[in-house]
Amino acid sequence: AQKITQTQPGMFVQEKEAVTLDCTYDTSDQSYGLFWYKQPSSGEMIFLIYQGSYDEQNATEGRYSLNFQKARKSANLVISASQLGDSAMYFCAMRTFVGENTGNQFYFGTGTSLTVIP
């Protein structure tokens, strides 16, 4: 079974501080990808960062970095220097990849609501 777990329903962080949003996953597949998306109150899903299961280095995209610990099956998102505009829902997702034309499903966690305090 494929499963994404986000155990933090809500998080608060002071502006300009760093925050870590937790994500653990469960899969028996060897090849998979892990994603983080941001969903502001306006509703659109915004891609933030991607980590492949075979990538040896942690992914980074600007202020976002993904702390990938494969043995522990965790893919935590770290946001550095938080800004007020970072307040949103954050979803961790996993893509499985069984074959070129099959198994390309995405599984999302229940999300973490982040509030940045001025």
Partner 1 sequence: DTGVSQNPRHKITKRGQNVTFRCDPISEHNRLYWYRQTLGQGPEFLTYFQNEAQLEKSRLLSDRFSAERPKGSFSTLEIQRTEQGDSAMYLCASSRRLAGGNEQFFGPGTRLTVL
* Binding interface with partner 1 (CB under 8 A): 4, 33, 35, 37, 43-47, 50, 52, 91, 93, 95, 101-111
- Cβ-based nearer residue to partner 1, 94 or 116: 94
- Token look-up 């653990």 returns 24
Q: How far apart are CA 111 and CA 87, in angstroms?
A: 13
Q: What share of the chain is helix, strand, coil (3-state, %, to 5)?
A: 5, 50, 45
Handedness of CA 87, 113, 108, 4 (dihedral sign): positive
* CB of 91 closer than 8 Å to CB of 114: no
CB 80 to partner 1: min, Å: 21
- Cβ-based nearer residue to partner 1, 48 or 79: 48
- Cβ-based nearer residue to partner 1, 7 or 14: 7
- Cβ-based nearer residue to partner 1, 12 or 106: 106
Q: How far apart are CA 109 and CA 93, in angstroms?
A: 6
CB 14 to partner 1: min, Å: 25
CB 108 to partner 1: min, Å: 3
CB 36 to partner 1: min, Å: 10
